[in-house]
């Protein structure tokens, strides 16, 4: 290789946790120029290319006459338009190319998605997840898979205990399985306590690459969950018999920005389902 073309924000890793870019737009060009003689490769630099509305042509942003209106669609915006089924103008790409892109990035009503129900034991996650599974199976647009916390523990994570490390690993496994279901354009419903933020964020990150992710905090109050406790787990935890029980002697890290909050002590199961289905329709995952 003798020459290397380097554009704006070449191979940029995106933004940091504060929402600011890790690097300036042209840092990659400056870095390669610095080492060009050392590596023996000529660096070919290019600025950002924009569409000039007045002349109906593409130019580098440094070549656009002052006062002329420019148009541009970033890669992030392009993916958003593809995922949401929003129109992509002909000045940006040929219709035949957009058609092929839409096969890879279908609109939301053809994408897979995951509904992640998290909350305390007894909050109503499993009951709600089973009811949601039936409704979505009747809707019939995609295959539906329920990943219930207890069943996954039995079949996928039977060797794990209940330390924080093992709980995190269990949720990461569930998240990975859900990401594969979502990637295949199916629907995954997760019902798990999932008490810690980190593995839930892991699930969101990996599932969102392949389709939709809807986190629902089933925020039923602790006292209501204890009243519903037919297995007596809360009583054992209160008595010190059961250790590291979420909500008693082990923390539950509530979601910071879930897509939905649902309190099953304030709504019936049909009422909760209405909230979820209306959200899925409003976001375009289901046809209205």
Are the C-beta atoms of residues 275 and 134 closer than 8 Å to each other? Answer: no
Q: How far apart are CA 35 and CA 197, in angstroms?
A: 42
Q: Tokens 């929003």 belong to which residue?
A: 86
- Tell me the average pLDDT of the chain: 92
How high is the pLDDT of residue 230?
83
Q: How many CB atoms lie within 10 A of CB 240?
A: 9
How confident is the model over 37-58, as a mean pLDDT? 90
Spatial contact of 185 and 111, defined as CB atoms under 8 Å apart: yes
CATH says 110-282 is which class?
A: alpha beta
- Any idea where the domains of the chain sit in the sequence? 1-68, 73-105, 110-282
Find, among 119, 82, 80, 117, the residue nearest to 97 by Cα: 82
Which residues have a Cβ under 8 Å from the Cβ of 132 and sit 6 or more positions away? 115, 189, 273, 276
Alpha carbons 219 and 261: distance in angstroms, whole number: 6
**What confidence tens digit (pLDDT) does each residue in 207-219 have?**
998 899 999 999 9
Is the pLDDT at 186 greater than 80, yes or no?
yes
User: Which residues are CB-neighbours of 266 under 8 A, at least 6 positions away?
Assistant: none
Average pLDDT in the 117-145 region? 97
Position 211 scores a pLDDT of: 92
Query: 270: which residues sit within 8 A by CB, 6+ positions away?
Result: 131
The Cβ of residue 5 has, within 10 Å, a number of other Cβ atoms equal to 9
Indicate if the pLDDT at residue 148 is higher than 90: yes
Percent of the chain with pLDDT over 90: 68
Summarize pLDDT for 13-41 with one digit per residue, the tens: 777 777 788 888 889 889 888 998 898 98
Q: How far apart (Å, rounded) are the C-alpha atoms in residues 121 and 119?
A: 7
Question: 9 vs 266, which has greater pLDDT?
Answer: 266
Mean pLDDT for 237-255 is 94
Residue 150 backbone dihedrals phi, psi, to 5 degrees: -65, -40
Query: Residue range 143-170: average pLDDT?
Result: 92
Q: Which residues pair with 274 in a beta bridge?
A: none
Mean pLDDT (whole number) for 268-277? 97
Among 141-145, 194-198, 242-246, the range scoring the smallest mean pLDDT is 242-246
């Amino acid at each position: 290789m003798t020459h290397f073309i380097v554009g704006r924000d070449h191979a940029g890793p995106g933004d940091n946790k504060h929402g600011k870019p890790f690097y300036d737009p042209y840092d990659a060009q400056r870095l390669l120029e610095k080492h060009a003689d050392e590596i023996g490769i000529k660096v070919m630099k290019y600025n950002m290319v924009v569409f000039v509305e007045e002349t109906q042509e593409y130019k580098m942003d440094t070549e656009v006459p002052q006062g002329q209106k420019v148009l541009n669609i970033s890669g992030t915006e392009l993916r958003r338009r593809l995922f949401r089924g929003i129109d992509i103008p002909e000045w940006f790409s040929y219709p035949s190319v957009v058609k092929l892109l839409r096969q890879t990035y279908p609109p939301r009503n053809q994408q897979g998605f995951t509904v992640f129900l998290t909350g305390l034991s007894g909050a109503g996650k499993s009951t709600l997840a089973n009811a949601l599974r039936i409704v979505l199976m009747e809707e019939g647009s995609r295959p539906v898979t329920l990943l219930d916390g207890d069943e996954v523990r039995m079949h996928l994570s039977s060797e794990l205990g209940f330390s924080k490390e093992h709980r995190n690993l269990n949720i990461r496994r569930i998240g990975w399985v859900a990401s594969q279901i979502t990637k295949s354009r199916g629907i995954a419903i997760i019902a798990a306590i999932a008490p810690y933020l980190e593995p839930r964020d892991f699930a969101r990150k990996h599932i969102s690459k392949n389709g939709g992710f809807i986190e629902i905090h089933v925020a039923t109050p602790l006292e209501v969950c204890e009243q519903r406790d037919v297995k007596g787990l809360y009583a054992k935890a209160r008595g010190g018999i059961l250790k590291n029980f979420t909500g008693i002697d082990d923390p539950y890290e509530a979601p910071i920005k879930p897509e939905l909050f649902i309190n099953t002590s304030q709504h019936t199961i049909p009422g909760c389902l209405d909230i979820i289905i209306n959200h899925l329709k409003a976001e375009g995952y289901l046809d209205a």
